[in-house]
Chain A
Amino acid sequence: MTSGPDSKMECGDTAGELMELLRKTFDDPPQINPETNIVADLGLESIQVIEYLCEVEDHFDLVIDEEALADVQTITDLADVVEKLIHR
Chain B
Amino acid sequence: MSLKSRFDDVSRKRDALSEVPVNPTDVVIERVLSATEALIGGRRTIMAGTNNYLGLTFDPDCIAAGREALSEAGTGTTGSRMANGTYREHLELERELAVFFGTTHAMVFSTGYAANLGALAALLKPGDAVLIDSEAHASLYDGCRLSGADLFRFKHNDPASLSNRLRRLGDRASEALIVVEGLYSVRGDSAPLVEYAQVKEKYGGYLLVDEAHSLGIYGDHGRGLAEHLGVEPSVDFIVGTFSKSLGSIGGFCVSRHDELTLFRYSSRPYIFTASPCPSVIATTRVALRKLEDQSELRDKVWANAKQLYTALENLQLDLGPHLSPVIGIAFEDRVLSLACWQALLEAGVYTNLILPPAAPDGRSLIRCSVTAAHTPRQIDLIIDAFMAVCRQFGIGRDAA
Chain A residues in the interface with B (C-beta under 8 A)? 1-7, 44-48, 50-51, 53-54, 57-58, 61-67
Q: List residues of chain B with CB within 8 A of the CB of A63.
A: 152, 165, 168-169
A-B contact count (CB 8 A): 66
Q: Digit string of B138-162 for contact with A (CB within 8 Å is 1, else 0)?
A: 0000000100001111110000010
Q: List residues of chain B with CB within 8 A of the CB of A67.
A: 150-151
Q: List residues of chain A with CB within 8 A of the CB of B360.
A: 47
Of the candidates B145, B154, B168, B172, the one having the most CB atoms from chain A within 10 angstroms of its own CB is B168
Chain B residues in the interface with A (C-beta under 8 A)? 129, 134-135, 145, 150-155, 161, 164-165, 167-170, 172, 356-357, 359-362
- Minimum CB–CB distance from B356 to chain A (whole Å) comes to 4
Q: List residues of chain A with CB within 8 A of the CB of B359.
A: 47
- Minimum CB–CB distance from A39 to chain B (whole Å) comes to 11
Q: List residues of chain B with CB within 8 A of the CB of A64.
A: 152
- B168 touching A45 by the CB < 8 A rule? no
- A66 touching B151 by the CB < 8 A rule? yes
- B172 touching A54 by the CB < 8 A rule? no
Looking at the complex, which one of B155, B357, B362 makes contact with A54 (CB distance below 8 Å)?
B155
Of the candidates A6, A7, A47, A63, the one having the most CB atoms from chain B within 10 angstroms of its own CB is A63
Which 3 interchain pairs have the tightest Cβ spacing? A4-B168, A45-B362, A45-B356
- A2 touching B153 by the CB < 8 A rule? no
- Minimum CB–CB distance from B367 to chain A (whole Å) comes to 16
A2 in contact with B129 given A50-B153, A61-B168, A66-B153 (CB within 8 Å):
yes
**26 A-B contacts, Cβ less than 8 Å apart?**
A2-B168, A2-B170, A4-B168, A5-B167, A5-B168, A7-B168, A45-B356, A45-B357, A45-B362, A46-B357, A47-B135, A47-B356, A48-B362, A50-B134, A50-B153, A51-B134, A54-B134, A54-B154, A54-B155, A62-B168, A63-B168, A65-B152, A66-B145, A66-B150, A66-B153, A67-B151
Q: List residues of chain B with CB within 8 A of the CB of A62.
A: 168
Q: List residues of chain A with CB within 8 A of the CB of B169.
A: 2, 4, 63
Q: List residues of chain A with CB within 8 A of the CB of B135.
A: 47
